[in-house]
Chain A
Amino acid sequence: MEKVKCECGHVNPYGTVICESCGKPFFEEEKGLLNMRYEGVARRSQTYNKTMIDKVWNFFSSVKVGIWIIVITLVASSIGTIFPQEFYIPPTANPTFFYEAEYGALGKIYYLLGFHDLYNSWWYMLLIASLGVSLIICSLDRVVPLHRALKTQKVTRHESFLKRQRVHGVSKVASFNETRNQAKNILKAKKYKLFEEDGNIVAEKGRFSRWGPYVNHIGLIIFLIGCMLRFFPGMYVDENIWVREGETVVIRGTDGEFFLRNDQFIVDFYDDADERFRDALVRAGSPIVKKYQTSATLFKRVDDGVVGRDPELVEVARHDIRVNDPFKFEGYALYQYAFKQNEISQMSFEIEESETGERFGRIDVSTYDPQTVYNLGGGYKVEIIEYFPDFYFDDRRTPASKSRIPNNPAFIFKIITPDNEEGEISFVGIQTNQDINGENTHQMRFVDIDMNHVTNLVVRKDYTLGILMVGGIVFMIGLIQGMYWTHRRVWIQKVNDELWMSAHTNKNWYGLKKDIEAVVSKTELTMPMDNVEEEEKKS
């Protein structure tokens, strides 16, 4: 590829539209205003297309491609909101069948294409990845040549460059030097930087605003890197644990290192006897929760024991976990997330002789670990033949358990009395007490129940937050830099016996013209024309 040598002597890369140095347009046959985008530099993507690497590069360097990626991502994200995401469907539902059962054929397609778990579907991740690649390559491909062009620009510009600017005017003045000096001072007062060469002037300000979009893109890329790091081991944990009161469980996501005991779970309500709250509570109509709190103790495993063996634990810390007041330790945080109140933890029964109502001894049956036999002495014994923690009748109309959670405990008891060593069998559940053989003389009388609260905590570790924050801040800086400053240039040049004035800005032409008006009002210079406005007036 040949380079292009301009008549001013500057050598431009192939594909340049406007000489980087003097601004002479290379395509003179086109008249009208110059397209000043990227200072007319050669975007490298448009020039070389030889190897595979170049082809890939050029594909991602295209802004058109970039915009399509954004549009497709947006559309996909919107489609992802039509049916609920996987983590919002009932936890017991199997997504394979749920979407089809609930939403029909569309639901099935939705599931098959991975919309049900959009952020983890491979093609969505691929879209985001290509968005990142597009950002990096588009920016690199534009910022490098633009930077070079702005650095190489000379004060003295080619006549056709000046003539083809949007704001351009020609003035006849009596005194060139005086006019120039006056203009210089006025522009200097307006915080322009002035450069001079052979009596020609360029006044420039706000060039750094041109870097705004690229700074903004760097912010976005940092943000995407932060998101990417979530997939790296040890950077991000998002788990969920259920802990019953009094129970100690391993904290998920800590590789078996930490354990947590739930000492107590409390739900507090606002006191409706308190005058301060009375009106508000009447308005709300129902009790309002004041706090959800899990008093927890954290343990660290000290043996390097194998998974599954009873761990040797050392207490590390205690904390009352409340909403917005997590338990923080070693990069982890435990957040109060949900709870289940009144899980049945123990049921108590007494043997009762049906006829007389006389009672013989009491048994306390834990729903978490019932004993096989309860020996009451004097020949009285209760055996648990079957236990159903979450009782229901299955398809075959036989008693079964839905889960291991004691939501609806039921028992089949064998009652052994001194008179009946064979034993009598009865089925006892919540609000049911059936005599299986129909000839029982004794029954298990339900006498007491113990409840337990279960807390649900979210385990979170996120080392990417800092990076996301930095990305966000850089993003905003770039945005502000590009939005609130403008890059303005005013050229004043002596051509033949006239003084030419041209100006360019990347936006806010009104502001630029105000600056020029200030110059014109106090000098011999005449107000240049805005060629775009003239065109608009004509049509």
Chain B
Amino acid sequence: MKNRRFITRLLVLLSISIALGYTFYTSFANQKDIVAVGDIAPNFVLKDLEGNEIELHDLRGKGVFLNFWATVCPPCVDEMPYMENNFQKYKDQGIEIIAVNFDEQPIRIERFVDRLNLNFSIVLDPGLQVSQVYGVRELPATFLIDENGVVIERRIGALTEQMVEDYVQKILPSQ
């Protein structure tokens, strides 16, 4: 009798906790449209200003510094030169920098890239499809993807030059 009582209570409490635990987990830890650390970075294909397609999956084996930005976002503009400097420094060691523009008019991006003389990949995201998949609502946003395609860091907010370099070193491929 006493045992039965204990088991009933345990079962009731346990099922409630599981249901609630899962609910809390989905609503806080695992929002489904947000790419989290540890996930395989969702694949995408985007075009750069010349119309060349860049597919994330093709970059397996390289460390990918994935940045979301816009010319109308001052901190994004500030960190572009940092990214350029680090790109020049580490591009031969298997680092790829992709800056996904937040659906701005191509002419604005073109003029901006010319002015700053940027050489890493700047891609357009018409309709913000990729930004949505990555759950990017605030700019700038940066995802670090290692050589196996796994997201190892996600940062919303501005970066300093030192941070960019530290990040790049984190994703240097082993070979």
What separation, in Å, do the CA atoms of A402 and B107 have in the docked complex? 16
Chain A residues positioned under 8 Å from B20 (CB to CB): 129, 132-133, 228
- Report yes or no: B16 in contact with A306, Cβ–Cβ below 8 A: no
Instruction: Indicate if A385 sits at the interface (CB-CB under 8 A).
Output: yes
Which A residues are closer than 8 A to B by beta carbons?
1, 44, 48, 51, 53-54, 56-57, 120, 122, 125, 129, 132-133, 136-137, 140, 225, 228, 231-233, 249-250, 252, 256, 305-309, 367-372, 384-387, 389-390, 400-404
Closest to B106 in A: A369
Could you say which of B45, B46, B72, B106 contacts A402, with CB atoms under 8 Å apart? B72
What separation, in Å, do the CA atoms of A404 and B103 have in the docked complex? 8
Residues of chain B in range 14-67 having any CB-CB distance to chain A below 8 Å:
16, 19-20, 22-24, 26-28, 32, 42-46, 53, 55, 57
- Looking at B107, B110, B127, B130, the one whose CB has the most chain A CB atoms below 10 A away is B107
Asked if A368 meets B9 with Cβ closer than 8 Å, knowing A231-B23, A307-B45, the reply is no
Chain A residues positioned under 8 Å from B2 (CB to CB): 1, 48
Instruction: Indicate if B116 sits at the interface (CB-CB under 8 A).
Output: no
- Report yes or no: A401 in contact with B71, Cβ–Cβ below 8 A: yes
Chain B residues positioned under 8 Å from A250 (CB to CB): 127, 129, 132
Could you say which of B23, B45, B105, B110 contacts A306, with CB atoms under 8 Å apart? B45
Chain B residues positioned under 8 Å from A308 (CB to CB): 44-46, 125, 129-130
- Report yes or no: B16 in contact with A389, Cβ–Cβ below 8 A: no
Chain B residues positioned under 8 Å from A228 (CB to CB): 19-20, 23
What separation, in Å, do the CA atoms of A305 and B42 have in the docked complex? 12
Asked if A403 meets B16 with Cβ closer than 8 Å, knowing A48-B5, A51-B6, the reply is no
- Report yes or no: A252 in contact with B105, Cβ–Cβ below 8 A: no
What separation, in Å, do the CA atoms of A416 and B80 have in the docked complex? 32
Closest to A411 in B: B107
- Report yes or no: A125 in contact with B13, Cβ–Cβ below 8 A: no
- Report yes or no: B70 in contact with A256, Cβ–Cβ below 8 A: no
What separation, in Å, do the CA atoms of A370 and B10 have in the docked complex? 67
- Report yes or no: B132 in contact with A53, Cβ–Cβ below 8 A: no
Chain A residues positioned under 8 Å from B89 (CB to CB): none
Asked if A233 meets B72 with Cβ closer than 8 Å, knowing A53-B10, A228-B19, A372-B107, the reply is no
Closest to A252 in B: B132
Closest to A60 in B: B13
Asked if A369 meets B105 with Cβ closer than 8 Å, knowing A125-B27, A233-B26, A308-B46, the reply is yes
